[in-house]
Amino acid sequence: YAERFTDRRDQELAAYCGFLHFFRKHRWMYAIVREAEFVDASISISYYASLQKPYETALKSSIDRGEISPYEPEHLAPILMGIGHAIGYSLFLIENAARYDNRSVLEPLSQFILYGFNRFIRSHEALKIPAKKAKEKKRITEGSIGAAALPAEALISSTKNREVIT
């Protein structure tokens, strides 16, 4: 799925698509990985580490090329892996969703991956916010842990009009 693309943003979305296609057909394989966490934690730690290291390398290359925002790859990789894990857990273990529309999962995911929370915040800025709410919003976006900062930029700084790969 991902290897046909050169841009990391497209590769990320294609990889999530491949993940959904594979585990929809082999959902019990996903359950085995999940259950390993409770049988022997070292197995799951080793498994996820084997995925994370190459992921970090690919993210670093993408950051160096300016395709994605300059976050620390060792922090970004587990975040993106965690998103996939949450989707897998929800669809394949909780909901037992063997049949579902990939687009219904991938469209909102792609918007979040490509634009982060800012994409959703901007779409609601047209709403009138009372003065008290506006102050609360400003305080939330000004920084973290007491440090002043610019409003959060999109997680992935992509161009507009990307399509979801299904």
Q: State pLDDT tens for residues 22-76.
A: 988 888 888 888 888 899 999 989 999 999 999 999 999 999 999 998 999 999 9
Cβ–Cβ under 8 Å, residues 2 and 15: yes
User: What does the radius of gyration of the chain's CA atoms come to, in whole angstroms?
Assistant: 18
Instruction: Report the alpha-carbon distance of residue 27 to residue 139 in Å, rounded.
Output: 43
Domain boundaries, the chain: 2-148
Beta strand pairing call for 147-148 and 143-144: antiparallel
Which position has the token pair 């790969």? 165
Q: What is the pLDDT of residues 117-150, one digit of tens each?
A: 665 555 445 444 444 444 444 433 333 333 333 3
Q: What are phi and psi of 147, to 5 degrees?
A: -95, 135
The pLDDT of residue 97 is 62
Both tokens of 20, joined, read: 């959904």
At how many degrees (to 10) do helices 8-25 and 73-88 cross? 30
Instruction: Report the alpha-carbon distance of residue 145 to residue 143 in Å, rounded.
Output: 7
Cβ–Cβ under 8 Å, residues 116 and 155: yes
Instruction: Report the alpha-carbon distance of residue 43 to residue 156 in Å, rounded.
Output: 31
Q: What is the pLDDT of residues 67-119, one digit of tens each?
A: 998 999 999 999 999 999 999 888 888 876 656 778 888 888 988 888 876 65
* pTM of structure: 0.68
Q: For the chain, how many residues are written?
A: 166
